[in-house]
Chain A
Amino acid sequence: MITEVPLAAYLILAAMLFSIGIGAFLIKRNIISIFMSIELMLNAVNLTFVAFAHSRHAVSGQIFVFFVMVVAAAEAAVGLAIIIAIFRSRRTLATDQINLLNN
């Protein structure tokens, strides 16, 4: 029975999640869903960091992921506050209708 997984499998999984994140970011019309696909891309990159940290036996990759998590938490708080502010003034979450700078 095979008990080892090639590290490339983890990296390819991360690449798949990242590409799905890109696709969701482009296709979604709801601003909250767009924000969630950004979080998905951040998570995919974190998986790459952890996989390489494992293969190089270095702990610094894991510390980098820790800092990414901290910054992502701060970013989520500010981003959701901005979404609330936009909803207050525009009464919509559809990105098609948020075109203040366009007219």
Chain B
Amino acid sequence: MQLAIFIIFAALALAGALNLLFQRHPINSALSLVVVMLSLAVLYWSLGAEFLAAAQVIVYSGAVMVLFVFVIMLLNAGEEERTTGSRMAYIAGIPGAVAVFALLSYVFLRESTTIGNVHLSSAPAGAVSNIAEISQVLFTKLLLPFEVTSVLILVAILGAVVLARKEGSQ
């Protein structure tokens, strides 16, 4: 069951990411990013993080991607023209990305026995539900950072309004 869920949604996430890479029109990239985020939400759930799965759907594929789609619509973004671009991006960048992937997978595979396996029902013994557990830590030990993020969001909203305002309209 766990294996089937993982294979299906990992394949979906990879297909979405590759589609993001190869599509030329930003709206197609945006919609394939939504597919990636939704399949990641399912993978979070299979790792026992129900709260994050819900937050992923609501915050990322709900709020952030709607913002992206609105901006693409607002700016009437068309297909990106094929330019020569920078040669450096192809010469150094692509091997660099492959090297990052190779290094990471080498480390993960070598330590594979140490980090163990994933069971669908391997909740820690005596654990309450995931949301209760998270909120207990969040509202006792990490109350100050949690409140500071609300200030951060307020500043971000004000900054977005100021930046996107039409010039000259005081």
Give the complex CA separation of A67 and B109 in angstroms.
29
B144 CB within 8 Å of chain A: no
A34-53 residues at the B interface, CB under 8 angstroms = 35-37, 39-40, 43, 46-47, 50-53
Q: How far is the CB of A40 from chain B (nearest CB, A)?
A: 6
Q: Report chain B residues within 8 Å CB of A52.
A: 115
Interface size on B, residues (CB 8 A): 86
Task: Flag if A19 contacts B101 (CB, 8 Å).
Answer: yes
Instruction: Please name all residues of chain B whose beta carbon is closer than 8 Å to the beta carbon of A28 when the two chains form the complex.
Output: 80
**A88 and B167 in contact (CB under 8 A), knowing A15-B108, A36-B33, A54-B49?**
yes
Contact B77 A30 (CB under 8 A): yes
Q: Give the A-B pair count, Cβ closer than 8 A.
A: 248
A98 at the interface (CB under 8 A from B): no
- Establish whether residues A43 and B36, one from each chain, have CB atoms under 8 Å apart when the complex forms: yes
Central interface residue in A43, A59, A88, by most chain B CB within 10 Å = A59
- B-chain residues with CB within 8 Å of residue A82 when the two chains form the complex: 163
CB closest residue in chain B, given A56: B115
Give every chain A residue within 8 A of B67 (Cβ-Cβ).
76-77, 80
Known: A12-B109, A94-B80. A4 touches B164 (CB 8 A): no
* Chain B minimum-CB-distance residue to A12: B105
Report yes or no: B152 in contact with A63, Cβ–Cβ below 8 A.
no
- Are A9 and B6 also in contact (CB < 8 A) when A19-B100, A23-B94, A78-B156 are? yes
| A-B residue pairs in contact (CB < 8 Å), sample of 21 | A3-B3, A16-B101, A22-B96, A26-B89, A28-B80, A32-B26, A32-B72, A33-B80, A36-B68, A40-B20, A51-B118, A53-B47, A54-B118, A63-B138, A67-B145, A77-B67, A81-B161, A81-B162, A81-B164, A84-B75, A88-B167
Instruction: Give 12 A-B pairs besides A8-B115, A57-B124, A94-B81 with Cβ atoms closer than 8 angstroms.
Output: A2-B3, A3-B2, A8-B108, A13-B10, A15-B108, A20-B21, A23-B94, A36-B68, A50-B43, A63-B142, A65-B52, A81-B163
**Residues of B at under 8 Å CB distance from A?**
1-3, 6, 10, 13-14, 17-18, 20-21, 26, 29-30, 33, 36-37, 40, 43-44, 47-49, 51-52, 55-56, 59-60, 63-64, 67-68, 71-72, 74-75, 77, 80-81, 83, 85, 89-90, 93-94, 96-98, 100-101, 104-105, 108-109, 111-112, 115-120, 122, 124, 130, 133-134, 137-138, 142, 145, 149, 152-153, 155-157, 159-164, 166-167
Q: Which 10 A-B pairs have the closest CB atoms?
A: A74-B156, A26-B93, A81-B163, A15-B104, A19-B101, A81-B160, A22-B97, A8-B112, A81-B164, A4-B117
